[in-house]
């Protein structure tokens, strides 16, 4: 079976600026991948190439076994993209927005009705389907924005910071919706919310300056980042309440334990991998 996604040696230049420098990435079918990177790392450029709105100067993009260079329309019919902007029509109702996008994807008759109903249920907007989107809260718009990209039952879903600007309840609802897609889609998720990645994704890819700098499961990333987090040896305790006793024993034996860390979190790994310098790019 082919990969859901395969990016090979992607390089993309915009004038003097190089957004991607030989970027490689693969996504298995059904896999949820978190794509992380500081501003300007090349995440957006990568998503644009997967969505066929841009092409690399060098390298190849293969989506669901199709070449993005020559089969863009075929790819677009099988992927769903949730853009960072809320791409909905404020003066149309929730129902009208969904019917509009369903129509563009060629859904007709009962199939369209079925998918629209499914989308409204997923978004929790069944009772507000006749209301204009302009009057919705940020969370409601985000939910509608998400399901609008799923109307045509895509096989690969790209989510670009889908929870920006929403309250915790709406974020939780969105994350549950996304988690509910497991088993039916492959997914790439970009965000600056590390907790969301940890909660949703099987694997994490960290980009910086147009390159892949780390990739793997959380455990694999912890191991990879260990040396960057200060070196030393790992001591595994079966019972965390024994930590103070362990430190006392070590000190009695003349072993210095200056840093005590109970498992590195993703944010620490991310900072260790990409550094702490401020980034203001937007590639």
Partner 1 sequence: MWKSALHLAAKDIKLFFRDRTALSLSLVLPIVLATVFGTAMKGMSGGGSGGGIKALTLVVQDEDRTDASQKLITALTETDGIRVQPETDGRAVVRNGQAAMALVVPAGYGQSLQAGEIPDLLLLKDPSRSLAVQVLSGRMLPALIEQNLDMAKGPAFRNFLGKLGFPEDGMDDAVEIFEGTFASMDLLTSELEAQGAFEEENASEESSDGEGEAEGGAGFDFLNDVPEMLGLRSEEVIDTTNQPASSAGVSHAFAAMAVMMLMFSLVAGAGTLLDEKEQGTLMRLQLIPNARDAILLGKTMLLGTIGLLQLAMLFLFGMFAFDVPVLEHLTEIVVISLATVAACAAMGMLFATLSKTRKQLEGSSTLVILGMSALGGAWFPREMTPDIFQKLGNFTLTAWSMDAYHGSMWYGKKLWPTEVEGSTLAGIWPQIAVLLAIAVVLGLIARWAFRRRFLQRA
Residues that bind partner 1 (CB under 8 A): 48, 51-55, 72-74, 76-77, 79, 81, 83, 85-90, 101, 104-105, 148-149
CA 21 to chain centre: 20
Looking at the Cβ atoms of 58 and 85, the one nearer to partner 1 is 85
Shortest distance (Å) from residue 55 CB to partner 1 = 4
Closest C-alpha among 59, 46, 19, 52 to residue 283? 19
Looking at the Cβ atoms of 98 and 204, the one nearer to partner 1 is 98
Angle at 204 between CA 222 and CA 36, to 5 degrees: 105
Looking at the Cβ atoms of 60 and 271, the one nearer to partner 1 is 60
Shortest distance (Å) from residue 230 CB to partner 1 = 43
| Alpha-carbon distances, residue 152 vs 2, 76, 264 (angstroms) | 21, 10, 39
Residues 6+ apart with CB under 8 A from 129: 93, 94, 95, 120
Tell me the C-alpha distance between 217 and 222, whole Å: 9
Shortest distance (Å) from residue 76 CB to partner 1 = 4
Shortest distance (Å) from residue 201 CB to partner 1 = 23
Looking at the Cβ atoms of 103 and 230, the one nearer to partner 1 is 103
Shortest distance (Å) from residue 192 CB to partner 1 = 19
Q: Are strands 5-14 and 58-63 parallel, antiparallel or unpaired?
A: antiparallel
Looking at the Cβ atoms of 4 and 272, the one nearer to partner 1 is 4
């Amino acid at each position: 079976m082919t990969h859901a996604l395969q990016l090979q040696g992607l390089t993309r230049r915009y004038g003097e600026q190089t957004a991607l420098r030989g970027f490689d990435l693969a996504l298995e079918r059904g896999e949820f991948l978190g794509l992380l990177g500081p501003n300007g790392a090349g995440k957006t450029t990568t998503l644009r190439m997967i969505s066929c709105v841009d092409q690399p100067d060098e390298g190849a993009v293969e989506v669901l076994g199709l070449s993005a260079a020559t089969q863009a329309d075929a790819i677009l019919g099988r992927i769903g993209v949730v853009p960072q902007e809320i791409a909905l029509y404020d003066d149309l109702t929730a129902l009208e927005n969904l019917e509009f996008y369903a129509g563009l994807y060629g859904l007709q008759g009962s199939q369209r009705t079925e998918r629209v109903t499914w989308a409204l249920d997923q978004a929790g907007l069944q009772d507000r389907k006749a209301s204009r989107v302009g009057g919705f809260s940020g969370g409601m718009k985000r939910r509608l924005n998400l399901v609008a990209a799923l109307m045509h039952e895509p096989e690969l879903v790209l989510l670009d910071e889908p929870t920006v600007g929403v309250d915790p309840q709406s974020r939780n609802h969105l994350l549950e919706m996304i988690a509910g897609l497991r088993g039916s889609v492959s997914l790439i998720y970009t965000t600056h919310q590390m907790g969301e990645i940890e909660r949703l994704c099987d694997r994490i890819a960290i980009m910086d300056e147009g390159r892949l700098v780390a990739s793997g499961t959380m455990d694999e990333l912890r191991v990879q980042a260990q040396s960057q987090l200060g070196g030393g040896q790992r001591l595994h305790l079966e019972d965390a309440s024994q930590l103070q006793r362990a430190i006392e024993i070590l000190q009695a034996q003349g072993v210095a334990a200056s840093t005590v860390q109970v498992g590195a979190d993703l944010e620490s790994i991310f900072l260790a991998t990409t550094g702490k310098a401020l980034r203001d790019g937007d590639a």
